[in-house]
Amino acid sequence: MRSKKGVLVVLSGFSGAGKGTVMKRLLEKYDNYALSISATTRSPRPGEQEGVSYFYKSVEEFEQMIKEKRLLEYAKYVNNYYGTPKEYVISKLEEGKDVILEIELQGAMQIKDMLPDTVLVFVTPPSAEILKNRLIGRNTEDMETINKRLARASEEAEGMERYDYILINDELEECVDDLHGIIQAEHLNMKKNESFVSKIKDEVKVFAN
């Protein structure tokens, strides 16, 4: 038996750690996940699509969303705004879906403060060298941006211990199965099953001497 409300999962990790690939595979392989699509002011990369990869906004539009409190959290990352639209996340959790947010560290901390039941997962490649090679190899950013993202990785590494779980993205299928396992275990977390716990505690009282 599982808790009925969905689990909110935050997936963070260095740029180039493979978070996007892990999530895509998780959604293909298992049911019951909903992926939150963020709003951003950065330009689309080749192959990215409005409403699939991100909702692309101007700075003015993004600041309007902040003003209207339509974002659960937001942060600036390498000169652009990124934020999580609130309504989708809340409604999917109520439906019982496990909702995944792929966001950076500052946003992750805002979410954990607001919703302490959130599970924080940090994805990392097996080594720094692999990280750099992946960022260069995907050919989507110029060298200046890559260096900024690598510098940001060294800052984000300082916050890794604030996460609940670490996922080492070496072999994709294993990494995806580990993530699924973490989330399934969270459904059995004692605190997430308070109503069942109080029901069974009441029921067994009849056996008391």
Give the contacts of 196 (CB within 8 A, at least 6 positions apart): 1, 3
Mask for 48-87, x = binds ligand 5GP (CB under 6 A): -------------------------xxx-x----xxx---
Within 71-127, residue ranges assigned H as helices are: 86-95, 105-114
Instruction: For helices 172-187 and 19-29, give the axis angle rounded to 10 degrees.
Output: 70
Contact with ligand 5GP (CB under 6 A) among 3, 7, 8, 15 = 15
Residue 117 structure tokens: 């039941």
For position 102 contacting ligand 5GP by CB under 6 A, the verdict is yes
Q: Count of residues binding ligand 5GP (CB under 6 A)? A: 15
**Distance of closest approach, residue 163 Cβ to ligand 5GP, in angstroms:** 13
Tokens 């909110």 belong to which residue?
8
**Distance of closest approach, residue 170 Cβ to ligand 5GP, in angstroms:** 20
Mask for 111-150, x = binds ligand 5GP (CB under 6 A): ----------------------------------------
184: burial class by Cβ within 10 Å (0-12, 13-18, 19+)? middle
Q: Which is nearer to ligand 5GP, 141 or 177 (CB)?
A: 141
Q: Which is nearer to ligand 5GP, 66 or 172 (CB)?
A: 66
For position 169 contacting ligand 5GP by CB under 6 A, the verdict is no
Q: Which is nearer to ligand 5GP, 3 or 38 (CB)?
A: 38
**Distance of closest approach, residue 100 Cβ to ligand 5GP, in angstroms:** 11
Instruction: For helices 143-157 and 128-137, give the axis angle rounded to 10 degrees.
Output: 150
Residue 173 structure tokens: 């299928």
Q: Residue by residue, what is the 3-state secondary structure of 18-55?
A: CHHHHHHHHHHHCCCEEECCCEECCCCCCCCCECCCEE
